[in-house]
Structure 1
Amino acid sequence: MTSQTVRRVSECFIKPLHDLSQDTKQPIYLTPFELPFLNGNYSQKGLLFTKPPEIQDFSITDFLEHLRHSLSATLTHFYPLAARLATRKQETPPSYVIYIDPENSPGAKFVYATVDLTVSDILTAGDVPSVVHSFFDLNDAINHDGHTLPLLSIQVTELTDGIFIGGSVNHLLADGTSFWHFMAAWSEIFTSKDHKNGYLISRPPIFKRWVLEGSDPITSLPFTHQDQFIARSEKPQLIKERFFHFSTAAVSKLKAKANNECNTQKISSLQAVSALLWRCVTRVRHQAPNSETVCKLVVSNRRRLKPPLFDDYFGSPIDTVGGTTTVEDLMAHGLGWAALRIHEAVANHNDEAVKKWVESWYKNPVVYKINGLFHPNTTHIGSSPRFDMYGCEFGLGKAVAARSGFVNKADGKMTMYPGREGGGSMDVEVCLLPEYMMGLECDQEFVTAIKNN
């Protein structure tokens, strides 16, 4: 590789193209789904494109200007992304209300950077090159910092023969479903010729907050100062990051194997692949047979609630569910047995379970310390292969890869992506300590599954 230094050329703030109506200036209050994660990091996802060879006179200056203008038009629809957080507090009784304040709208940040690397430099390395972390902004920010930092920062990094568009979004404001909804709308407006109609989009976001029936829509935390709950993460472990591809055929075989072993058809593709990762990662860790091992999945509560929320609900109504067993039992049984533990955890996370958790949180509001969420014996599955990442083209054609940033990574963190070819294929970003990554690449069960590609 040549120089891996990412040079920031310019930065600015992008505001919504049109003035907001009075209705859109009202506070948007955070819910029990989001408030526990005030110490969490921003979510960082991005797309790597090759410069379009068919455009001989491709101008990065014109491209950036078009990106900025279309982003401004998109922010008219997704106006909270241009705002900041605000806090209203009182001493007696202790009350700390955090909300999104559209009245304070300095804009989303837009960064242009360059690096003397090629698309091949990024994709052909075994491990994800650490330079990819510099393709994102706000690496050190936590969600509570959204009081003073932008809730959304877009960094466009120009490579020698490619372009990376990376987004860092405050996780209180948007989960993966909402972030990729925004990206799809931005790409839609970028390619739209319908300027006269005010850049209409096919899926307008819904900002009305979900509220537990009978509860106050304004949720208050029992604090009087941020020092009572802010706890920034410690220095992260030195982990390896590597992508593994599961073709449509490989995923189908794993799903069929898991269901056949359990004489059922209810185990999903994602549950089967998650079970494989859980088994193989646990094996290479060489844990004591009687020790506990957990597979956690981040799930959206939208479809689990009754009545369900639309996919266009813009927020972060997510939760974590998990299958738990001993290392001995996980290794003594097959893929299907592990997948069924995961399936049952997901299936049991229904409307009743979600609302029961919310009720308990209201009785004892907590803000998590993020270091406590990643335990040594856990395989943690995040994001989703169902997100339409590759539908976001920005006039450049289909992206060649999706990547994530520096944050929210630890030993055992797995991030799921759709495979570029579609058809139910998946890419998995695996984060492990170096010795465990070496073991995974030699694990027979894992290698056999990958070879089915």
Structure 2
Amino acid sequence: MSSQSVQHISECYIKPSHLSQDSKKVIHLATWDLAMLSFHYIQKGLLFKKPDAQHNFIQPFLESLKHALSITLAHFYPLAGRLARKQQDSRSFIVFIDCVNSPGARFVHSSVDTTISDILSPPYVPVIVQNFFDHHKAVNYDGLDMSLLTVQVTELVDGIFVGCSVNHSVADGTSYWNFFNTLSHVFQGSQVTPPVHERWFPDGYGPFIGLPFTRDDQFISRYDAPVLKERIFHFSVANLARIKAKANANCKDNKAIRISSLQALSAIIWRCVTRARGLTEDQITSCCMPANNRSRLDPPVSKNYFGNCIQILRTFTTASKLLENNFEWAALQLNKTIVQHDDESVRKSVATWLETPITYQLAQLVDPGTVVVSSSPRFNMYGNEFGFGKPVAVLSGYGNKFDGEVTLYQGSEGGGSIDTLICLNPNIMRALECDEEFLDVLNCSC
């Protein structure tokens, strides 16, 4: 790689093209939003090929993107705001979104003397990619002083990277990609579907939920990840169909059970990472998977709900049980956990949180027996275009990564394929790369 330095060329702030009466109101944070205050920003973006034989295209493109962002922010106005804090009494305070008293969303133009091949050809994701995003190592609580959204456009020698850093207390993955998809639609002049900004609260609660802390260090911590290897593995449509069929064949006596390809793949990754880690037989291992609560609530919340509406579901067993049984058994355990997560379960967990409010700490997820699956291949990633054609890759920044973190992307070949970013200790990564079960799912010709 010819350079390890990303040069910032310019930056500015973008405000919504217009403000509705609703956008001038305070946006209250719900339980799932407040629980994310100590996590990092969401950092995801798309890599495009630079147009051939087009000189001086970058400035017109930047102006068009800024214009599209301003219009998009008129719909997603919380992203142009800032977090604000107000003391309720001597023992608690509230955090909310101030959509008015803010300079807007941040827009950065940068460049790097690097090619697309430099980024995509190495087996491991180069560290330089972390510099394609703003808010490096920032936690969501920093949104009191930092932008809640930064769009960074980085010019490569032969490519363009469009990356967004979004405060995770303001939006979850569904909301993030709804915003990104809308930005693409506006850029192309297409119609958009406005998001729903009214936050969900259980009966009798909200809109102000107090946090019972007197010092920031009681609920905010800053996690620094160790040296990790990040590698993107591609799982084809055919191989995913094969493991899905195999997992469901094991449940043929109970037609009510339907194991998804995502559950089957997560089960295999869980097993293979656990084997690579060399855990003792009685050591507890777990697989954490996100659940979108929008459809699980009764009545359901709109799919366009803007905010956090997710919950991490954890499936436990011992290393010996996980490895002595086949992957179909592991997939069934994940399926049981997900199926049991219904309206009653969601409301019960929210009630428990309200009794004793907490914020999730990244360090608590870092456990030698834990695998955490995040994001979703169902998000529309490769459908975003900004005049350069289809993206060639989806990439992510430093945020919320640790040993055992797995990020699921829409597969670049489409059709239901999945690209999976796995972050591991270098020694464990080497062991995973030699694991026969893992290699079979990657390479088997069906």
TM-score (normalised: structure 1): 0.95
SS at match of 1:262: coil
**2:379 and 2:220 mapped to 1: Cα distance?**
31
- Residue 63 in 1 paired to residue 89 in 2? no
Q: 1:188 deviation in Å? A: 0.6
Aligned residue for 1:357? 349
Aligned residue for 1:197? none
Aligned residue for 1:390? 382
Q: Gapped runs of 5+ residues in structure 1?
A: 195-200
Q: 1:215 deviation in Å? A: 1.9
Letter in 1 for 2:28: Y
Contact 1:261 1:334 in 2 (8 A): no
**1:223 and 1:5 mapped to 2: Cα distance?**
40
Aligned residue for 2:125? 128
Counterpart mapping for 1:168-183 below 5 A: 168-183=165-180
Aligned residue for 2:209? 219
Q: 1:373 deviation in Å? A: 2.3
**Residue 27 and residue 255 in structure 1: after superposition, are their counterparts in 2 closer, same or farther (change >3 A)?**
same
Aligned residue for 2:101? 104
Contact 1:239 1:433 in 2 (8 A): yes
Aligned residue for 1:425? 417
Contact 1:41 1:142 in 2 (8 A): yes
Q: 1:223 deviation in Å? A: 2.5
- Residue 367 in 1 paired to residue 359 in 2? yes
Between 369-378 and 310-319, report the one with greater CA deviation: 369-378
Aligned residue for 1:402? 394
SS at match of 2:307: coil
**2:330 and 2:209 mapped to 1: Cα distance?**
38
Aligned residue for 1:259? 248
Aligned residue for 1:247? 236
Aligned residue for 2:311? 319
Contact 2:88 2:94 in 1 (8 A): no
Q: 1:352 deviation in Å? A: 0.4
Aligned residue for 1:210? 200
Q: Gapped runs of 5+ residues in structure 2?
A: none
C-alpha offsets along residues 288-342 of structure 1, whole Å, 9 cap, x if unaligned? 0111110100221111111111110000111100211111111111111000000
List structure 1 runs of 4+ shifted beyond 4 angstroms: none
Percent identical: 49
**2:131 and 2:13 mapped to 1: Cα distance?**
19
The partner residue of 1:119 within 85, 94, 116 is 116
Q: 1:58 deviation in Å? A: 5.7
TM-score (normalised: structure 2): 0.97
C-alpha offsets along residues 98-135 of structure 1, whole Å, 9 cap, x if unaligned? 00111213111011110111111111011001100111
**1:23 and 1:64 mapped to 2: Cα distance?**
29
C-alpha offsets along residues 44-65 of structure 1, whole Å, 9 cap, x if unaligned? 0000000123x63461111111
Letter in 1 for 2:104: G
C-alpha offsets along residues 418-438 of structure 1, whole Å, 9 cap, x if unaligned? 101211100000001011110
**2:60 and 2:22 mapped to 1: Cα distance?**
34
Q: 1:225 deviation in Å? A: 4.0
SS at match of 2:118: helix
Aligned residue for 1:271? 263
Aligned residue for 1:302? 294
Counterpart mapping for 1:35-184 below 5 A: 35-53=34-52, 56-57=54-55, 59-92=57-90, 94-184=91-181
Letter in 2 for 1:68: K
- Residue 2 in 1 paired to residue 5 in 2? no
**2:443 and 2:264 mapped to 1: Cα distance?**
16
